[in-house]
A and B are shown apart, each in its own frame.
Chain A
Amino acid sequence: MAGLIGLLAKVNDTLGSVFRLLSWTFLAAMTSFILLQVVMRYVFNNSLFWPEDVSLMMMIWVALAIAPLAYRHGGNVSLDIVSRFLPLRGFHCLSIVLHLLVVGLLVVLIQESVGMIERSQIRANSIPLPMKYVYAILPIGFGATVLVAVELILRNLVGVVRPDDPLSRSPADPVAGAGLPGGQESA
């Protein structure tokens, strides 16, 4: 079991670094594009037609690239009304059920998003990019989240047998660090 968890953790670490790189560079690019749009309009009196559209497409990619990271490192908001009263073993059992539900949902979302890509005929409004490349992040993000869910299920299984085993805990985000990023209240 430890070997399997180690392997999955390594895969998820690697994917996580790729998604982390993608998300911060895309956010930096989005900011630059919108600033460029403002400068071009007010300083050069020349309205660009593409920054809004391209930034929006990048925002979709950021949201989906962040999904597996947030899920793995506990960044999603949830209530702990029930779980806080459970003994540790019960908590791990409940977590397994919840992760399985999420996997079920994600499998449906992956199927539907692949269908959405296959049906897509349109191009982006401003640049000659087929929209299916924008939609492509949907199954990628959902798929990576399934891998995270499987890792977390295995960790919780360890927790059911040995509640104190450090292997049973979700790994912390190595980059975001301690403390919640500002703006989490909207999440």
Chain B
Amino acid sequence: MSLTFLWLFVILMLVGLPVVFVLLLAPGISLLMEGKTALYPQLLSRLYNGMFSFPLMAIPFFILAGELMNTGGITQRLVQFAHTLIGHVRGGLAQVNILSSIMFAGLSGSAVADTSAIGSMLIPAMEKGGYTRRFAAAVTAASSVIGPIIPPSGIMILYAFIMNISPAALFAAGFVPGLLVGIGLMTVTAYLARKRNYPIANKKASWGERGTAFRHSFLPLLTPVILLGGSLGGIFTPTEAAAVAAGYALFISLVVLRTMSLRDLPRIFYRAALASGTIMLLVGAAVAFGWIVTISGAARELTAFVVSVSEDPLLLLFLFNIMLLIVGMFLDAGPAILILGPLLKPVFVTQLGVDELHFAIIMCVNVTVGLATPPMGLILFVASSLTGERIERIAREMLPFLAIEIAVIFLITYVPSVSLTIPKLLGLY
């Protein structure tokens, strides 16, 4: 089979056909041109089987859990707790924003949920507290990237499914990189706060006040314990853990906090179904596309090309990161993984001998940062629609934060133990 489908793929993407249809139409037209329409039934069965997977079912449940936490006031409790811990330093609200994102990351696997939940709460408060609106939006967007890096993570589930590796090991590999991004962002914020003389949010909370805020957020903060303890400890599969997280968030919001009523449920479930149904079909289409990639020998040709450039894995990983950062400017994390993963893994893992989990974490962190890079970045869109601030202005304000995130990408690329130590210690790898 020829590589016509790859050219069709690029053209159809550029003219703006939705990605899910590009993934099916490019191979479809290519097969038609070569008179191989007898393969159409196989394309459809790949699409169907791509969706029919139990590990993949974690994604709708994680999305549902995120929607429930946002609507059910769970996020609000976390922000209050972060306030008592760190609100008293210079630039306090910006630091609260980042710390809340770190805590929220342990509950939710989605960066968009993080931006909309924490942003809608803290951006107005930051503006009132004397920050510029674009800085408030930039801090929110930059720190939301931590969401899918610290487990659980929808993006990692997707990667683990499509590349057939252990989601638990990948989750464990995300801990340290996620925390490093968080610490890096807090350090830059502290520097900017001193330089620009940002205000102190509130006086230092007493230990009593901290204790009260902790008690209020105790039940929500148990979510990561249940989720990660359950799935890393082998009690639940990641899919079951995700369903338990959704059930737990529902229970807390409906029964304990009573911040949600039964009437809210259809809308919440529908929003989760809308986001997850779209992803499922995209995954199915990507599996069908991946099959064409395999039978066409495109991955083999790509490997030959890459190896002809250089055989030094360190240099190639550098180029790989730069390429993914550029791709991330135009494509969001899910499609980037679904399209590029099956093409690039054979090059780096099979041919160049890069460790499978190491490659996975580099790719996941890189495409996640891509969610916050202009012109096409979902987190930026959300931050922009929350504030009414133009994307370019938010993006410019984000530059120092992006620099930190890119530095972390290169750190985990060249110091594998940063990400791989925890999976090793837990015996997952």
State whether B247 touches A35 (Cβ < 8 A): yes
Give the interface SS of chain A, mostly helix, strand, loop or mixed. helix
What's the Cα separation between A52 and B237 when bound, in Å? Answer: 12
Chain B residues 220-259 with CB under 8 Å of chain A are 235-236, 239-240, 243-244, 246-247
- A119 vs B92: C-alpha distance in the bound complex, in angstroms? 64
Stretch of B79-87, B192-200, B261-269 lying at the A interface: B261-269
- The answer, yes or no, to whether A101 is at the interface (CB within 8 Å) is yes
Task: With A60-B51, A78-B16, A112-B44 as known contacts, state yes or no: A182 contacts B108, CB within 8 Å.
Answer: yes
- Whether A185 touches B48, Cβ cut-off 8 Å, given contacts A70-B277, A77-B19, is no
With A75-B274, A185-B155 as contacts: A115 and B41 at CB distance below 8 Å:
yes
Chain A residues with Cβ under 8 A from B62's Cβ? 183
From A2-10, A25-33, A158-166, give the one contacting chain B.
Answer: A25-33
B376–A79 touching, CB < 8 Å: yes
1/0 per residue, CB under 8 A from B, across A39-73: the answer is 00010000000001001100110111111011100
Asked if A183 meets B244 with Cβ closer than 8 Å, knowing A56-B52, A98-B15, the reply is no
List A contacts of B15 (CB < 8 A).
Answer: 82-83, 94, 97-98
By beta carbon, the residue of chain A nearest B266 is A24
The contact of A181 among B63, B240, B334, B368, by CB within 8 Å, is B63
B378, A185: Cβ atoms closer than 8 Å: yes
Residues of A in contact (CB 8 Å), total: 66
0/1 interface trace, chain A 173-187, chain B, CB 8 Å (1 if under): 101111111111111
A-chain residues with CB within 8 Å of residue B381 when the two chains form the complex: 180
A102 to B28, CA, bound (A): 11
The complex places the Cα of A55 from the Cα of B57 at a distance, in Å, of 9
Q: Is A88 an interface residue (CB 8 A)?
A: no
Question: Does B122 reach chain A (CB closer than 8 Å)?
Answer: no
Say how far B200's CB is from chain A's closest CB, in angstroms.
31
Q: How far in angstroms is the closest Cβ of chain A from B289?
A: 13
A38 vs B239: C-alpha distance in the bound complex, in angstroms? 11
> What bracket does the count of chain B residues touching chain A fall in?
35 or more
Provide the residues of chain A in CB contact with B429, threshold 8 Å: none
B275 at the interface (CB under 8 A from A): yes
Does B423 interact with chain A (Cβ within 8 Å)? no
Residues of B contacting A79 in the complex (Cβ-Cβ under 8 angstroms):
13-14, 16, 330-331, 376
B11 to chain A, nearest CB (A): 10
B 13-71 contacts with A by CB, 8 A: 13-21, 24-25, 28, 40-41, 43-45, 48, 51-54, 57, 59-64, 66-67, 70
Contact present for A66 and B277 (CB under 8 Å): yes
- Asked, given contacts A60-B52, A182-B110, A182-B113, whether A82 binds B271 with beta carbons under 8 Å apart, the answer is no
A180 touches B378 (CB 8 A): yes
Contact in complex: B111, A185 (CB < 8 Å): yes
- What's the least CB distance linking B415 to chain A, in Å? 27
For the complex with contacts A28-B269, A59-B52, 6 further pairs of A-B residues with Cβ separation under 8 Å are A98-B15, A101-B21, A108-B40, A184-B378, A185-B371, A186-B110
Chain A positions within 8 Å of B, measured between CB atoms, are 20, 23-28, 30-31, 34-35, 37-38, 42, 52, 55-56, 59-60, 62-67, 69-71, 75-83, 94, 97-98, 101-102, 104-105, 108-109, 112-113, 115-116, 135, 138, 173, 175-187
8 cross-chain pairs, A with B, having the tightest CB-CB distances, nearest first: A66-B277, A182-B113, A183-B63, A186-B334, A76-B18, A63-B280, A24-B269, A34-B243
Chain B residues at the A interface, C-beta cutoff of 8 Å: 12-21, 24-25, 28, 40-41, 43-45, 48, 51-54, 57, 59-64, 66-67, 70, 108-114, 116-117, 148, 154-155, 158, 235-236, 239-240, 243-244, 246-247, 265-267, 269-282, 284, 330-335, 368, 371, 376, 378-379, 381-382, 385
Q: List 27 A-B contacts (CB under 8 A).
A: A27-B276, A31-B246, A38-B240, A59-B60, A59-B280, A62-B273, A66-B273, A67-B277, A70-B278, A77-B19, A77-B334, A79-B16, A82-B16, A102-B18, A102-B21, A105-B24, A109-B44, A116-B41, A175-B270, A175-B271, A179-B116, A182-B66, A182-B70, A183-B112, A184-B332, A185-B155, A186-B334
